[in-house]
Chains A and B, each alone.
Chain A
Amino acid sequence: MTTADAKRVDTILKGREGASGELIEALQDIQDAFKYLPEEALRSVSEKMAVPLIEVFRVANYYKAFTLQPRGRHLLTVCMGTACHVRGAPRFLDEVLGQLDIKPGETTEDGDFTVETVNCLGACALGPVVVLDGKYHDHMTAGKLRALIQGTLSKKAKKTGDR
């Protein structure tokens, strides 16, 4: 962790010294800032907020919203709920995993994509649903999904090309 990162953590923890009740809020803020929970950040959370490290570690592990591994630039969430499942979500999940060569919950080597599965997004009428960086994409098919991923990747290529 660089000093700049440490400073960001300090800013997040400012005013929360000793306030153990705000642990989850602090972790959420760190997760937002870094897209994951770095070990050093958790250590300083424990120190500043007077919460035992094991407690911080336990909470960070317990909630699915927190992750201890760095995530990719794009987060792809595939709904595996019953409605999406019967409409073929497992098939195109295999498709996308094969394309990116990863397993659910993993990040591609170049750090572009993280694929996660979720048990239900509550948008069953739109199923099968895929969420890419917070945007819902309904009635997914393998072809549409491939186009979506390629589109995201080409956008990135364009950006780097512009530079």
Chain B
Amino acid sequence: MSEYVTLTINGAKVRAPRGTSVLDAALDYGICIPHLCHMQGVIPTGVCRLCIVEVIEKGRSKVTTSCTLEAEEGMVILAHTDKILKARKNIAEMLVAEAPNSRAIQDIALKCGVKDVRYPFRNKDCVLCGRCVRACTEIWRSRSLGFVGRGEQRHVALPFDERPEFCKRCNACIDLCPMTITPCDGPMKKGEEYFCGKCESQLSMSEDFVDSCVWCRLGEGFDVTGRHAGRKQEDKR
């Protein structure tokens, strides 16, 4: 049993250590698959659905999230077919409608080709990506916050709405949240949400740099260290 597997992503031969997810393998090779809930070193859950890809198996294609898909020998992945782009655009649109107050989500949506949002804005300020919960649970092993409620009522909460004593105050939950970056005009008013997509955000830049994801160089996701602004500036120069 070899330690490495070889698979094909968008026609390119990609070699990845056994056990890597298809998304990680693609990102390693500079193939950008948009993603939101994915974080390096944290168990993938596949909740944002942005990283969907087509897997060709025995001549049949199957759509699945690439972050939860383990790379296997001889796998054939198509990440940017018309079918995928259409579905991904729709997903991004719904994410914006859910939380229009996030610049990061708007940027990713623009990257996915969203020009206009057809869904009513819900303005929830949370898309339940679970980045904060998983960072708290898995990276910091603190378990200070988690998902509470079910169905429509599901939300991220602290037990009894107060910060537990054992919270390490690492602020990872805030740093990793896609909502921390508000659109350039500041927080939107209720009922006046809009899809910006025109301002000189990095997104507009991303059209020039086709292969770079928005908040990421080669789609590394949001800055894990939380110093988004600093690195962003450097990248521009």
Expressed in whole angstroms, the Cα–Cα distance for A58 and B164 within the complex equals 14
Q: Do B144 and A54 have beta carbons less than 8 Å apart? A: yes
Q: Do A58 and B143 have beta carbons less than 8 Å apart? A: no
- Chain A contact residues (Cβ within 8 angstroms of B): what range? 10 to 19
Please tell me if A52 contacts chain B, counting CB pairs below 8 Å.
yes
Instruction: Chain A residues near B144: list those with CB within 8 A.
Output: 54
Which of B146, B149, B157 sits near A55, CB closer than 8 Å?
Answer: B146
Which of B147, B149, B150, B164 sits near A53, CB closer than 8 Å?
Answer: B164
Interface SS, A side: helix
Expressed in whole angstroms, the Cα–Cα distance for A52 and B143 within the complex equals 7
CB distance from B132 to the nearest CB of A (A): 12
Q: Do A58 and B148 have beta carbons less than 8 Å apart? A: yes
Instruction: Chain B residues near A39: list those with CB within 8 A.
Output: 160
Which of B149, B158, B159 sits near A62, CB closer than 8 Å?
Answer: B149
Residue of A nearest to B149 (CB): A61
Q: Do B150 and A62 have beta carbons less than 8 Å apart? A: yes
Q: Do A57 and B143 have beta carbons less than 8 Å apart? A: no
Expressed in whole angstroms, the Cα–Cα distance for A61 and B66 within the complex equals 32
Q: Do B159 and A54 have beta carbons less than 8 Å apart? A: yes
Q: Do A57 and B159 have beta carbons less than 8 Å apart? A: yes
Expressed in whole angstroms, the Cα–Cα distance for A57 and B161 within the complex equals 10
Return the CB mask of A33-71 against B: 1 if under 8 Å, else 0: 000000100100000000011111110011000000000
Expressed in whole angstroms, the Cα–Cα distance for A61 and B146 within the complex equals 12
CB distance from B134 to the nearest CB of A (A): 13
Instruction: Chain A residues near B157: list those with CB within 8 A.
Output: 57
Please tell me if B177 contacts chain A, counting CB pairs below 8 Å.
no
Return the CB mask of B135-169 against A: 1 if under 8 Å, else 0: 00000000111111110000001111000100000
Which residues of A approach B to under 8 Å, CB–CB?
39, 42, 52-58, 61-62
Closest 8 pairs between A and B when the two form their complex, measured CB to CB: A52-B143, A57-B159, A54-B146, A53-B159, A61-B148, A54-B159, A58-B148, A58-B146
Which residues of B approach A to under 8 Å, CB–CB?
143-150, 157-160, 164
